[in-house]
């Protein structure tokens, strides 16, 4: 199935959806995937959050681990479909007065239906 096709995702997830969807690098790979002309596939980047949301059960959780995006960036990218639920704390390091981490893991829940 094509996870970048929300309709196919909805069919695979069925009427109830999945309780948990895990992403350990998929979104990172999609965001870095070059098109034939070398540009980034913005459509795929934009469709992925919708596909994830459509695959989740109403109370399902999406857990994403990224080494390319910060928590704030992931929240901004998924905010139209999912809301921040929790985060996993990873080891941090300090450099040049800033504190950061090399990986981020964030849990999202589906936004309540309007």
Average pLDDT of the residues in 86-93: 85
Which pTM does this prediction carry? 0.83
- Reduced to 3 states (helix: H, G, I; strand: E, B; else coil), residue 102 is coil
Label residue 114 by pLDDT band (50, 70, 90). low
Cα–Cα distance for residue pair 44/58, rounded to 1 Å: 24
Supply the pLDDT for residue 23: 95
Supply the pLDDT for residue 40: 77
From 85, 109, 104, select the one nearest 28 (Cα to Cα). 104
Question: Tokens at residue 88, please?
Answer: 């996993």
Supply the pLDDT for residue 72: 94
- Would you say 66 and 103 are in contact if contact means Cβ atoms under 8 Å apart? yes
Q: For 41-87, what is each residue's pLDDT tens digit?
A: 888 888 999 999 989 999 999 999 999 998 999 999 999 999 999 99
Cα–Cα distance for residue pair 48/110, rounded to 1 Å: 14
Residue 24 backbone zone (phi > 0: left; psi -120 to 50: alpha; other: beta)? beta
């Amino acid at each position: 199935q094509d996870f970048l096709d929300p309709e196919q995702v909805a069919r695979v997830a069925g009427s109830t959806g999945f309780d948990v969807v895990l992403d350990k690098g998929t979104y990172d790979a999609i965001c870095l995937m070059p098109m034939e002309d070398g540009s980034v596939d913005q459509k795929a980047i934009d469709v992925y959050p919708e596909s994830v949301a459509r695959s989740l059960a109403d109370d399902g959780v999406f857990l994403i681990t990224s080494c390319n995006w910060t928590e704030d960036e992931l929240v901004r990218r998924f905010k139209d479909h999912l809301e921040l639920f929790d985060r996993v704390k990873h080891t941090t390091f300090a450099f040049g007065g800033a504190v950061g981490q090399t990986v981020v893991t964030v849990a999202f829940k589906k936004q309540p239906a309007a």
